[in-house]
Amino acid sequence: MDETTEVGRLGAEHRELLGQVLDKWSLEVLDRLCERPRRFNELRRAIPEVTQKSLTATLRRLERNGMVERDIVSTRPVGVEYRIAPLGKTLQDLIDALLQWSAARLPEVQRARDRFDAAEG
């Protein structure tokens, strides 16, 4: 296999999976559910910027991928509890590491952005 035809080790399926699990809201939802199970509106309050529609879509996608489980509480009115699934639990350390990386490096990134924006003007 020569260099000119060398292809990535990441197939489309892996890109799709990581895209569904690392997207805008999923990281934060999973992080929250790793702490403890949460109700729908509890998650909304914990992530104030997410809309109901986007949170619903995020939770469905995570459920479909086996990352979270959904528990219907038969009260009136009904409640729904979301909790981390075993498969989602395998992501916990990775998510923690990503959030810590972001917190640690954001200042450096900001300086890089300022340099870039100043140079291209």
Q: What residues line the site for a copy of itself (CB under 8 A)?
A: 3-10, 12-15, 17-19, 22, 24, 27-28, 31-32, 42, 45-49, 63-66, 87, 90-91, 94, 97-99, 101-103, 105-106, 108-109, 111-113, 115-117
Q: Which two tokens stand for residue 37?
A: 């199970």
Cis peptide before 86 (omega within 30 of 0): no
Minimum separation from the CB atom of position 56 to DNA (A): 4
Minimum separation from the CB atom of position 78 to a copy of itself (A): 18
DSSP string, 4-44: GG---S--HHHHHHHHHHSSTTHHHHHHHHHHS-EEHHHHH
**Rounded to an integer, what distance in angstroms lies between the CA atom of residue 26 and that of residue 48?**
14
x/- letters, 82..121, toward DNA (CB under 7 A): ----------------------------------------
Q: Which is nearer to DNA, 100 or 113 (CB)?
A: 113
Q: How far is CA 7 from CA 2, 4, 112, in A?
A: 10, 9, 30
Contact set with DNA (CB under 7 A): 24, 39-42, 49-54, 56-57, 59-60, 70, 77-81
